[in-house]
Structure 1
Amino acid sequence: MRNLIVLGGGEDQIPAYREGRRLGYRVIGVDQRPDALGAAEADQFLCMTSRDPEGIARALGPIDVAAVISPASDAAQESVAELSRIYRTAHRTAPGALRCSVDKGYFREVIDRLGLPAYRYAQHNSVEELTRAAAELGYPLIVKPADSSGSKGITVLDGPANLVGAIEHAWKHSFSRQVILEELIEGRHGAVESFFADGRLAFMAVTDRIITGPPAMISLAHVVPADLDESAHARLSEAVTAICAEVGHRQGPVNFDLVLTPGGDLYFIEMGARLGGNGMPLMVRHAFGLNTVEAAIRLALGEPLTIDVTHRRTAALRILAAASDGVLTAVEGLDALKRIPEVADVQVFKAPGDHVRAYTQAGNKLGYLVMVSDTRKQLEDALDRALRTLRFEIEPDVKGSA
């Protein structure tokens, strides 16, 4: 049996484990956490960092690898590319698209080259240079690692008082020690989950992205379709196509975060040439009937792409999260939640007795709730009812965090 390597063992990689096995492959998982969800899902599990492709290849030896994939993780994309080279798999991400995924400053250069709406930024690994740049940019501004995803290491600053602390916080989540400062753009947040086939934008889902707000600005929910007029949607489609053409991304998934200003300008924030995180493929499947996880695996295998949308429904994905650190003692209302007609899927990643953390980064989530409906108003009412139904009981951990 041929092998599929999945880098990462978190909740957003688990669908690739299951889909790979459904397609008939032996799944090898890689994650440095011994308690990662992927450890129980994989046919073979390597407890090691996904950022060491040579070490992974040494540990596996001369095996038959059909494909390598890492949904939702920018940090692992360079390893995906190198392992794909080592094992001579059929598909590799275009170098320009890969660089955009792991270097936010480079993505900003691409936006500038294309003449798309752009904000001011500065990227460096020196506190002195970043302090000087912050004074020139002014406040408010966003401080974040240049090579990380999942809202890790982000701080929004209204003034210079905590700048050094914010830089040091970003460094903790940066492999390159590159920190980027960005002008804060006010407006409505959105996201794009798309798929290219033979250089053509074969699928594009645009969501309204609800975030927690400063200081971390973490995704809390997505609603599709986004509340965009036809002109904005067309401009967005043209810009996504132009960006991907510029960086050579002709095949496969790609996602973007963006802001729509009150004046109607579309500002792209980040790009990832991989399947989106925070349950985006799950929402896409319920809203459009499209299995992007299967499509991404088949692309990695070198098989012909088939991107078929079977239906279009209004859908919401809500990230379930804790407000504070503690121990989960009970999950109440789950059965009643599942009886709400609009509930399409609910996934809870924690069990009573588990330590949970406040939702200060995307990795701290408790689960996903996906709802579908025929209208936005019906969906919003049902979501409100669902969130009142499901309750997580959390008590302070007197023994301290695990």
Structure 2
Amino acid sequence: MTGRALILVEGSRYNGPLYVEAALQLGLKPIVLSANPAQYNYLEAKGIEAISVNTADLDALILECTRLHETYDIVGVTSVGDSFYATVGKLCGHFKLPGPNPTSIERCRNKFTQRKLLAESGVPIPHYRLAADAREIENSADEIGLPVILKPAIGAGSRGVRLCRNLDELVEHTTFLLGGQHIWKSRPKILVEEFAQGPFYWADIMGDQIIGIGSGDFGPLPHFVGRESTFPASLTDDEHERIANVSLSCLQALGLGWGPTGVELRWTKRGPVVIEVNPRLHGPPSPQLVRLAYGIDLVTEHIKLVIGDDWDLHRRHSHTAAARFLAPDRDGTLEWIGGETQAAAIPGVAEVKFYVEANTPIIRKGDIRDLMGYVVTASPTRAQTEAALHHAVEIIEWSIKPFST
């Protein structure tokens, strides 16, 4: 054996680099198994070993991990997202390593099954229906009442999610989802949901412990592209308790409680209503916000759990952290983007991250793929944090040249 290895099933340009860096800091050798390792450019930059394997084939993954075990002491298996998290649970079970319950993960990832289980347990959720064709979608929207949200029953990153405020928008998005523009990995199943209106909050949970609650908002409707996040949210004690209690009730309803869980909610006239439960950490920069605000590195603590070490979830300090996402306002070719050096030099700015480079084609899809990067700030006070964020965002500039018609 040449060292302790952490197997990562697939990666992500979002949380992927955080997991690789945390594994290295813990003295582990991260090894990524992927159907297409070349899509993760951060692996080559860090010199991370990546192996091409069919990650949709559990037997192929078992065979590859068995082969690797001849060279390395494999101390843990995990994934940076939830698409392969059930597979991770099965791998952990096979190799007798700590891991999530794959059945619970699979039930949670199917948003319809998730809604049913939450509703049966009395967790407040939006009214919903499941539809498979245009007629069922229209009938469901009529029963619930416009406006409604249409979303794939299985998916992530707000892909295919849209608010439909009238019949024309309903027909338009139905055509998009069922007419070949949206890529389905299984038979199309669509959730038609009540539009739960009110401030947006998210809870980070590790095991059965609430780490904290953040707040956020989105760009222009009808899409749900993140605009800004703040951690912790500005809440009264009663509001915090109600959101925390509802979030924890999701764990029991869905059979979760091992490792990280992210709960997204809206504060409506009914109080906190659960929009979605994800059996994973929220995407960046949420983990960075938690680390900056409370001194808790959720990625590192998750890996500790994966490899069987004791985690440490106590707060080191209590600051306020915030992030602004950088999103384009038009389609075209990104001619240039800059200002990161000047923005990063502002007191209170913790990180400036660009996902794109000059000459990148920009085609907005109305989901997480639209984001060009983000700016993160942190300080002991909310006012200082917000001021630094506003100043830094003003410095970041870019130019998008419209496509030739």
On whether the aligned pair clears a TM of 0.5, the verdict is: yes
Q: Is the 8 A contact 2:123 2:250 kept in 1?
A: no
Q: Is the 8 A contact 1:321 1:358 kept in 2?
A: no
Q: Is the 8 A contact 1:210 1:220 kept in 2?
A: yes
Aligned to 1:26: 29
The question of 1:392 aligning with 2:398 is answered yes
Unaligned runs of 5+ in 2: none
Aligned to 2:197: 186
Aligned to 1:84: 92
Amino acid paired to 2:40:
A
Amino acid paired to 1:329:
E
Percent identity, please.
23
Residues 52 and 283 from structure 1, CA distance in 2 versus in 1: closer, same or farther, beyond 3 angstroms?
Answer: farther
The question of 1:278 aligning with 2:287 is answered no
- The one-character-per-residue Cα deviations of 1:101-132 (angstroms, maximum 9, x if unpaired) are 31111222232123233321011333333332
Q: Is the 8 A contact 1:323 1:359 kept in 2?
A: no
Residues 322 and 256 from structure 1, CA distance in 2 versus in 1: closer, same or farther, beyond 3 angstroms?
Answer: same
Amino acid paired to 1:63:
L
Distance 1:86 1:163 in 2: 45
User: What secondary structure sits across from 1:384 in the alignment?
Assistant: helix
- TM-superposed CA distance for 1:209, in Å, is 1.1
- TM-superposed CA distance for 1:397, in Å, is 5.2
Amino acid paired to 1:211:
F
Aligned to 1:236: 243
Aligned to 1:134: 141
- Say which is worse superposed, 326-335 or 179-188, in terms of deviation: 326-335
Amino acid paired to 1:23:
L
Aligned to 2:314: 308
Residues 133 and 284 from structure 1, CA distance in 2 versus in 1: closer, same or farther, beyond 3 angstroms?
Answer: same
- Say which is worse superposed, 117-126 or 265-274, in terms of deviation: 117-126
Matches within 5 A, 1:49-88: 50-58=55-63, 62-64=67-69, 65-71=74-80, 73-88=81-96
Distance 1:163 1:50 in 2: 35
Unaligned runs of 5+ in 1: none
Q: Is the 8 A contact 2:323 2:389 kept in 1?
A: no
- Cα RMSD after superposing both structures: 2.5
The question of 1:380 aligning with 2:383 is answered no
Residues 38 and 349 from structure 1, CA distance in 2 versus in 1: closer, same or farther, beyond 3 angstroms?
Answer: same
Residues 268 and 115 from structure 1, CA distance in 2 versus in 1: closer, same or farther, beyond 3 angstroms?
Answer: same
The question of 1:344 aligning with 2:353 is answered no
Q: Is the 8 A contact 1:34 1:47 kept in 2?
A: no
2:111 corresponds, among 89, 104, 126, to 104
Distance 2:365 2:390 in 1: 20
- TM-superposed CA distance for 1:137, in Å, is 1.6
Amino acid paired to 1:291:
D
- TM-superposed CA distance for 1:164, in Å, is 4.6
Distance 1:9 1:3 in 2: 19
The question of 1:220 aligning with 2:231 is answered no
Q: Is the 8 A contact 1:211 1:220 kept in 2?
A: yes
User: What secondary structure sits across from 2:223 in the alignment?
Assistant: coil
The question of 1:93 aligning with 2:101 is answered yes
Distance 2:50 2:244 in 1: 39
Aligned to 1:195: 206
Aligned to 1:257: 264
Distance 1:50 1:61 in 2: 15
Aligned to 1:120: 127
Q: Is the 8 A contact 2:37 2:51 kept in 1?
A: no
Distance 2:144 2:47 in 1: 47
Distance 1:74 1:231 in 2: 31
Distance 2:98 2:126 in 1: 38
Amino acid paired to 1:155:
R
Q: Is the 8 A contact 2:206 2:258 kept in 1?
A: yes
Amino acid paired to 2:213:
V
User: What secondary structure sits across from 1:308 in the alignment?
Assistant: coil
Residues 318 and 47 from structure 1, CA distance in 2 versus in 1: closer, same or farther, beyond 3 angstroms?
Answer: farther
The question of 1:35 aligning with 2:39 is answered yes
Residues 215 and 294 from structure 1, CA distance in 2 versus in 1: closer, same or farther, beyond 3 angstroms?
Answer: same
Amino acid paired to 1:32:
N
- TM-superposed CA distance for 1:83, in Å, is 2.8
Aligned to 1:3: 5
The question of 1:15 aligning with 2:18 is answered yes
Q: Is the 8 A contact 1:68 1:300 kept in 2?
A: yes
> What's the TM-score once normalised by structure 1's chain length?
0.89
2:50 corresponds, among 45, 50, 57, to 45
Distance 1:270 1:336 in 2: 37
- TM-superposed CA distance for 1:185, in Å, is 1.2
- TM-superposed CA distance for 1:31, in Å, is 5.5
Q: Is the 8 A contact 1:144 1:154 kept in 2?
A: yes
- The one-character-per-residue Cα deviations of 1:305-335 (angstroms, maximum 9, x if unpaired) are 2212111111102222222333333332222
- TM-superposed CA distance for 1:300, in Å, is 1.3
> What's the TM-score once normalised by structure 2's chain length?
0.88
Distance 1:290 1:190 in 2: 19
Distance 1:370 1:51 in 2: 35
Distance 2:64 2:136 in 1: 41
Q: Is the 8 A contact 1:259 1:269 kept in 2?
A: yes
- Say which is worse superposed, 167-176 or 329-338, in terms of deviation: 167-176
- Say which is worse superposed, 141-150 or 62-71, in terms of deviation: 62-71
Aligned to 1:292: 298
Distance 1:321 1:47 in 2: 32
